[in-house]
Amino acid sequence: MKKSTSLLHCAAWLAAVLALIPTVVSCGSSDGKTASDTTAAVTETAVETVDPNDRSQVKDSLPDDLDFDGRQFTVYVGNRTYNEDYIAGPEEETGEIVDDAVYQRNISVAERLNVVIQADSYDTSWNTVGPEVSKLVMAGDTTYDLFMGNQAGLAQLITENCFVNAYDIEYLDFSQPWWNNEYMNELAVGEDFRYFLNGDYFISSLLWTRVVFFNKALYANYWDNANELYEVVLDGKWTLDMMTNLAKEVYIDLNNNGMTDEEDQLGMCTYLAMSSSDGFVYGTDIAFTERDADGYITLTLMSDDAVTLAEKLPAFFAQEGSFWKDVTGDAHNQTIFMNGKTLFMGNSALSHAEALRDMKDDFGFLPYPKFDEEQESYRSLIHDAAMIGGVSNASMNLDMVGAVIEALCAETYRSVTPVWYETALKVKYSRDDLSTQMIDLIHDSATTNFIYAYNYALDGAGLLYRTLCTNNKTDYASAVKKIEKSATKKLDKIIEIFSGALEN
């Protein structure tokens, strides 16, 4: 099942609306120049003041005279909906602001570099995208220049020599703000290798950043001022213990059947304890790994804090008022929340705010809680369904590929990201000004974790808490003991491959 969309360099670049969009921080940090580097231009007749918050003024480092003679740049996208909405985009303008921004981005880059951009989408799942991509690359298929797939599946190709080291690709400029260097560094094996790309063009990382939604009206029924929970967050006191206690306090067995069900007033509702637990685990600052001076990873799964978390988190999912076992899907979860039946909704990401637009009660955004108040800052997990990319080893035009990817990331940063983030998320979907502060905090703390990304290549080392929470078990040491030896062996093999490549 495949859809192909060709974007010919034949339409005029229209930049209306986007010049008024405020700036936001891109996913991850960078040392690149920002729009604030722009200074006012003085002429004899007038002084032109350039808005430092206008992303359209942020320049990239691509040469102005690049021309690739109509060559084709083809992207493999392992998710049909994501491709149609944010990569290929519509075949013409629709009047919807995000759709039109994606359309104009593609036209602009195609015209600027004189290329044809094509995106082919496939209905691959997390466990099939890796084998499908590997099969194509290993066969020497030159159809695709860039492969995009969810982190859970694509990252497992780390040792299969499918992708080009991005540090060797001309025109990729990782000093620029449209690259998520923190995320890419976390996925790196050693300081000299970068095989997986993530930045503004890979916008699903923004869409899939984890968030806790809360019902402001229900909170205010108990504690008067729903906005005080925002103040708790900003004061650094939003912790797992506090969330657990709030959820417990609002629970009422409305139908008096002695069971937690969707007829009750719930403390927390979520779809699946498994993936719901990930945001809590990697929202902490517990160090499950360490890096040596060369950037190579060692596992540090056992610690006092890790054991304590394994006591607290399953208890949170098992307590009265936590409802998840009979939740049949995300839509069911959202319906319960929209009906005002629960204080907190889990297993959610920033993009899920769109589904809540018609909710009668006001709702708010919260980051996942800290482990304790001693934790320095919040950490917001990018779900492993988010898309990452890799440049195929079979690609024949690496100079063109690097230029196109750089231009697509830069133009997404300038036009698409601000439209979705500032206009859609903050204006259309949020209900108050303080929510936008929470959205910024969540966005700016977005990250991943090495063992979470490579979980399926490390014998499940990154998802130990999923089983504990699902089964209400607390024996973390036993869970670690079962997989630590094999996980360490596989990690050592990965490092051996990369250190050998460096020596060669």
Tell me if 412 is assigned to some domain: yes
Q: Are strands 342-349 and 446-447 parallel, antiparallel or unpaired?
A: unpaired
Listed residues 413, 429, 445: the one ending a domain: 429
- Region 206-215: mean pLDDT is 95
pLDDT at 246: 98
pLDDT at 426: 83
pLDDT at 159: 86
pLDDT at 500: 63
* Domain identity same for 348 and 413: no
* Domain identity same for 318 and 466: yes
* Domain identity same for 76 and 141: yes
Residue 7: pLDDT above 80? no
Residue 421: pLDDT above 90? no
Give the pair of three-digit tokens for residue 25.
């921080």
* Domain identity same for 460 and 342: yes
* Domain identity same for 169 and 296: no
* Domain identity same for 293 and 438: yes
- Region 130-144: mean pLDDT is 95
Residue 38: pLDDT above 60? no
- Region 403-417: mean pLDDT is 96
User: Residue type for 269, please?
Assistant: C
* Domain identity same for 345 and 440: yes
Query: At 424, is the pLDDT very low, low, confident or very high (cuts 50, 70, 90)?
Result: confident
Tell me if 252 is assigned to some domain: yes
Residue 256: pLDDT above 50? yes
Interatomic CA distance for residues 399 and 309, integer angstroms: 47
The separation between the first and the last C-alpha atoms of the chain, rounded to the nearest angstrom, is 41
pLDDT at 472: 96
Tell me if 403 is assigned to some domain: yes
* Domain identity same for 224 and 325: yes
Tell me if 469 is assigned to some domain: yes
Domain assignment of residue 229, given as a range: 210-381+432-503
- Region 282-308: mean pLDDT is 95
Higher-confidence residue of 381 and 38: namely: 381
Q: Do 388 and 154 touch, CB atoms closer than 8 A?
A: yes
Strand partners, 3: 121
- Region 131-136: mean pLDDT is 95
CA 461 from centre of chain: 20
pLDDT at 41: 37
pLDDT in tens, 485-495: 999 999 999 99
Q: Could you list the beta-strand ranges (E) of 369-413.
A: 380-381, 387-391
- Region 91-110: mean pLDDT is 95
Q: Do 320 and 248 touch, CB atoms closer than 8 A?
A: yes
* Domain identity same for 322 and 263: yes
Q: Is 224 left (phi over 0), alpha (psi -120 to 50) or beta?
A: left
Query: At 179, is the pLDDT very low, low, confident or very high (cuts 50, 70, 90)?
Result: very high
Tell me if 475 is assigned to some domain: yes
| 180 CB neighbour count, 10 Å cutoff | 28
- Region 169-197: mean pLDDT is 94
pLDDT at 337: 97
pLDDT at 8: 35
pLDDT at 210: 96
**What's 181's domain CATH number?**
3.40.190.10
| 396 CB neighbour count, 10 Å cutoff | 10
Least confident stretch, 11-15, 189-193, 291-295 = 11-15
Residue 12: pLDDT above 90? no
Percentage of residues of the chain with pLDDT beyond 90: 75
Tell me if 217 is assigned to some domain: yes
Interatomic CA distance for residues 313 and 280, integer angstroms: 8
Query: At 39, is the pLDDT very low, low, confident or very high (cuts 50, 70, 90)?
Result: very low
pLDDT at 427: 78
Listed residues 397, 429, 461: the one ending a domain: 429
Tell me if 440 is assigned to some domain: yes
Residue 405: pLDDT above 70? yes
Q: Could you list the beta-strand ranges (E) of 19-109.
A: 41-42, 47-48, 71-77
Q: Which residues contact 238 (CB under 8 A, 6 or more apart)?
A: 229, 232, 366, 367, 369, 370, 378
- Region 186-198: mean pLDDT is 93
Residue 28: pLDDT above 60? no
* Domain identity same for 242 and 338: yes
* Domain identity same for 131 and 72: yes
pLDDT at 73: 97
Q: Is 206 left (phi over 0), alpha (psi -120 to 50) or beta?
A: alpha
- Region 301-314: mean pLDDT is 98
3-state SS assignment for residue 76 = strand
- Region 426-451: mean pLDDT is 87
Higher-confidence residue of 13 and 235: namely: 235
- Region 36-53: mean pLDDT is 40
pLDDT at 432: 79
- Region 434-448: mean pLDDT is 90
Tell me if 27 is assigned to some domain: no
pLDDT at 31: 41
Interatomic CA distance for residues 142 and 27, integer angstroms: 31
Interatomic CA distance for residues 487 and 491, integer angstroms: 6
Residue 50: pLDDT above 50? no
pLDDT at 422: 82
Q: In whole numbers, what is the pLDDT of the chain averaged over residues?
A: 88
Nearest-10 crossing angle of helices 398-411, 97-113: 150
pLDDT at 487: 96
Give me the number of domains the chain comprises. 2
Listed residues 398, 429, 460: the one ending a domain: 429
Query: At 428, is the pLDDT very low, low, confident or very high (cuts 50, 70, 90)?
Result: confident
* Domain identity same for 331 and 456: yes
